[in-house]
Structure 1
Amino acid sequence: MRLRKNAKVDLLEAVPLFSSCSKAELQRIASLADELDLAEGATLIREGERGREFLVIVDGTVRVTKHGKKVRDLRAGDFIGEIALVSDVPRTATVTATSPVRLLVITDRAFRGLIEEMPSIATKVLQSLGERLHSDAV
C-alpha cells in the first residue's frame, strides 16, 4: 500500500533536515520521493561507497554499523544519508534492514534539481546540516 501525498509530507516535516521548510516546499520535496520496500537483511547503504540518495524510514528497522561494529538501530521516522544530498563523499557506515522495511528515497540528482528550482530549500537544509554537525561535535 502506497503512502498518500499528505503522509509523505508529514514524514518529511518530522525530519530535522526539512523541519524549517514551508508546506509548499515539503510538498515539492515529497513529490520527488519514491517509495521502496526491502526485505530483512537487505543492505541499504554500504560503507565506503559513493552516496546517491537520502532515505527516510517509513516502516521497519535498520542497523547502522561502522567497521563492522554496531553504531545504532533506527526505526520509522529516522533518516539516513543526508550528506549525500549536498556532498559527493563516501558513505561513513553500512545500513542493513533488520526487518522488512519501507523507505522514502530522494536521489541526489532530483534534490539538486529541486534546489535549483527552489533555492530557499538549499539554505534551510544547509543550516540544518550545520546545526546537526555542530551538535555532534560538541
Structure 2
Amino acid sequence: MVRTTEHLLRSVPALADCSPRELRRMAALMDVVALRPGAALTTEGEFENQAFLLVEGQVGVRVGDDLVAVLGPGELVGELGVIDRRLPRTATVTAMTPVTACVLTPRGFDSLRRGFPAVAALVDRTVAAREESLAG
C-alpha cells in the first residue's frame, strides 16, 4: 500500500520536488481512501480528527446550504480540525466525483508538517487561505 500511496503523492504538484525517499516516508504516514460521489469527508459542526490530501476528483465545500468552493487534486481538506482539535468543522465537504484522497491522522499530520518542508508550505498556504475566507 505504501507503494500505491507513494505513486499517488507523485501526482500532487506541491510535492513535485520531493525525492522518492521522502515520498515513501510520507506514504507510510497515510492511508488512501476512494470515495463515491455524495460521500462526506467532513461534516459542518462536527469534531473530527482527520485531514485529507485530495489526489483525484473534486469535492464541494458547503457552509449551510451554500456551495462556497470546489476543490480538486493537490488541495488539503480538514486541516484546521487536525491542527486544533477543539475546533468544529467549519464546512461540510462532499465528493462531487469519484475521489481518491490520502487520509492523515493528527499524529501523521504533525509528523508531515515537522519533517517535510513541502508539506509544511502546503499547509501554511492552505491555512492562510482558509483563515482569509472565514474572515471575509
- How does the TM-score come out when normalised to structure 2? 0.71
Match of 2:72 in 1: 75
How far apart, CA to CA, are the structure 1 residues paired with 2:4 and 2:131? 33
Matches within 5 A, 1:51-70: 51-70=48-67
Structure 1 vs Structure 2: percent identity of aligned residues?
30
- How does the TM-score come out when normalised to structure 1? 0.70
Secondary structure, in 3 states, of the residue corresponding to 2:81?
A: helix
Asked whether 1:37 is paired with 2:38, we answer no
Match of 2:6 in 1: 5
Secondary structure, in 3 states, of the residue corresponding to 2:80?
A: helix
Matches within 5 A, 1:69-108: 69-88=66-85, 89-108=87-106
Answer whether contact 1:38 1:97 (CA < 8 A) is retained.
Answer: yes
How far apart, CA to CA, are the structure 1 residues paired with 2:39 and 2:7? 28
> Once superposed, what is the RMSD of the aligned Cα atoms?
3.3
How far apart, CA to CA, are the structure 1 residues paired with 2:131 and 2:98? 33
Gap runs ≥5 in structure 2:
none
How far apart, CA to CA, are the structure 1 residues paired with 2:62 and 2:94? 8
Cα shift readout 1:39-83 (whole Å, capped 9, x = no counterpart): 111111100011311111222211100011110111222221121
CA 1:130 to 1:75, structure 2 compared with 1: closer, same or farther past 3 Å? closer
Answer whether contact 1:84 1:108 (CA < 8 A) is retained.
Answer: no
How far apart, CA to CA, are the structure 1 residues paired with 2:30 and 2:54? 12
Deviation at 1:3, TM superposition (A): 2.9
How far apart, CA to CA, are the structure 1 residues paired with 2:97 and 2:40? 11
